[in-house]
Amino acid sequence: MRRPWPLVLVVAAACGPRPGAESASAGECSEVLSGPAPDLPAPPAVETPVSRIAVDVNASVQSLKRELGKHVPLELARATNQPIGTPGEVSYTVSRGSFDVGLSGDRLVVATPVSVEARVCKPLGPICPIYGRCSPRLAAVASVPLTLTDDYRLGSSRVSVNLTRGCVIAGFDASDEIRRNAARQVGGIQRRIDGSVPDLKPYVEGTWRLLHTPVALGRDTCLRIAPSGIVQKKPKLTAGTLGLRFGVLGSLSVEQPCNPDDAVAPTPLPKLSAEKDLAEGVALKVPLRIDWEDVSADLTRSLAAPSARAADVHVVKAKARGVLVNGIPRVLLTATVSGRLCGDAHLLAEPWYDASAARIRLRAVTAAPGTGADVSAVSALITDHAAIALPLDAASAPNALESLVARLSEDLPEPVRAEVKLSPSEVAPVLLDERSLVPVVSLTGTAAIRVQ
């Protein structure tokens, strides 16, 4: 039989703290938070931002002249003692001068002077004494459009050959004959130019198909591209460099899980459109959607960690959703707390990305409307410790997208080089709507194609 406890011990046990309980000075609940969360409207859906890849195609005028010089010899034609009827025989040499390359509207214009050195002789037995010479001059001008049609093709060339100095030999004016001969050459020159212009549409169609292929960001995450249009800007000539700009517009999204080999059937190739204000460079915006259930789970984990416990209050559970406060999207956070305060604290906060921690944090944390208690201690805990992880490593995006652009330039001809440079990714802004928290990964950089 157990001996009865002394009376003093019974009294002490009845009046002392219960097992597991803390005294008020050690954090016992002294103020109960009650009341429902405020009835605030939901924010509108976040629209998918438009991304842009603008590629500058640059070629120096000197490089164009050099390439022309490789294909067009200085001496264009030569003939010796060609019979021309009663006047006798003619010998001539046709030579070109240096090229002048310019821009007129949207057309590349190439001009060169053409000189002819001609002499006429009259056969006398085995000899042919020269009795006349002349040096006519012509101006040859060819132009090709640099702006593509809406069907991704270049228009026809234009060629003109004009006589600038005539030819008179022994009183005979041969200028009209020279003009007629020059005019007969124009059609052949145009056909050669137009025949040498590459057909760009197959390359554009291949690029359009490739853009619909997902880009792997990780083992089970990929980037989907939904291109919506292709635009071009009028060419310009600046400081000896001819510049063209083409751009692809569209939207980007992240899928998880994703099969990188699962390509979406491409949409029909849109008509090429002109955009006079097409901005330079690459501006990619990738929205990452984190539903509020996952946001709440991350907030609970970060706020319930031992390091987040204050001396007299701590958060045991957090639930978040998106609301509008005076037209401004904010996170409405219901934090279930224990300690000196207990119950549900309702707070409003602004989400932002902390690059140093690679986490989304909350700032400007204030009590929600209708909260009568002082919840500054809870606000401080949320400001210091609340954290939400991104669903992917934002640092992996630049390398993946640089690889994509490199694939787009694989079929470029030898003298053409593609250069892509992307800056480290940034997460800004952090948006939200009724369904999810939407941090936007932003990538900027340059993309250029240079003709060596």
Residue 174 pLDDT: 84
Nearest to 133 by CA among 97, 174, 162, 76: 174
Domain contains 226: no
Residue 7 pLDDT: 30
Domain that holds residue 156: 62-196
Residue 249 pLDDT: 97
How many domains does the chain divide into? 2
Phi, psi (degrees; rounded to nearest 5) at 117: -110, 110
Last residue of a domain, one of 140, 171, 196: 196
Residue 408 pLDDT: 67
Residue 56 pLDDT: 94
Domain contains 396: no
Domain contains 164: yes
Residue 375 pLDDT: 94
Q: Is residue 187 within a helix (H) or strand (E), and if so which, with residue range?
A: helix 175-196
Last residue of a domain, one of 389, 415, 442: 389
3-state secondary structure (DSSP) of residue 13: helix
Residue 406 pLDDT: 67
Nearest to 54 by CA among 278, 317, 228: 278
Q: Please tell me the total number of residues recorded for the chain in this structure.
A: 452
Residues 6+ apart with CB under 8 A from 413: none
Residue 172 pLDDT: 79
Q: Are 317 and 335 in contact (CB under 8 A)?
A: yes
C-alpha atoms less than 13 angstroms from C-alpha of 355 in its C-beta half-sphere: 10
Judgement on whether residues 78 and 180 belong to the same structural domain of the protein: yes
Domain contains 326: yes
Domain contains 267: no
Domain contains 4: no
Judgement on whether residues 294 and 180 belong to the same structural domain of the protein: no
Residue 339 pLDDT: 92
The DSSP-derived string for 259-270 is -TT-PPPPPPPP
pLDDT tens for the chain, 452 residues long, are: 333 333 332 223 333 333 333 333 335 899 999 889 999 999 999 999 999 999 999 999 998 898 888 888 999 889 999 998 888 998 999 999 999 999 999 999 999 999 999 999 999 999 999 999 999 999 999 999 999 999 999 999 999 999 999 999 888 788 888 888 888 888 888 988 888 888 889 989 988 998 888 888 877 888 889 999 999 999 999 999 999 999 999 999 988 887 655 656 889 999 999 999 999 999 999 999 999 999 999 999 999 888 887 668 999 999 999 999 999 999 999 999 999 999 999 999 999 999 999 999 999 999 999 888 899 999 999 999 999 999 887 777 777 777 776 666 666 666 677 788 888 889 999 999 999 999 999 999 998 888 76
Q: Are strands 51-60 and 31-33 parallel, antiparallel or unpaired?
A: unpaired
Q: Give CA–CA dist 357/389, Å, rounded.
A: 10
CA 332 to chain centre: 34
Domain contains 305: yes
Residue 22 pLDDT: 35
The dihedral region occupied by 339, where left means phi > 0, alpha psi between -120 and 50, and beta the remainder, is left
Last residue of a domain, one of 389, 422, 445: 389
Q: Give CA–CA dist 258/248, Å, rounded.
A: 24
Q: Give CA–CA dist 104/102, Å, rounded.
A: 7
Domain contains 356: yes
Q: Are 366 and 380 in contact (CB under 8 A)?
A: no
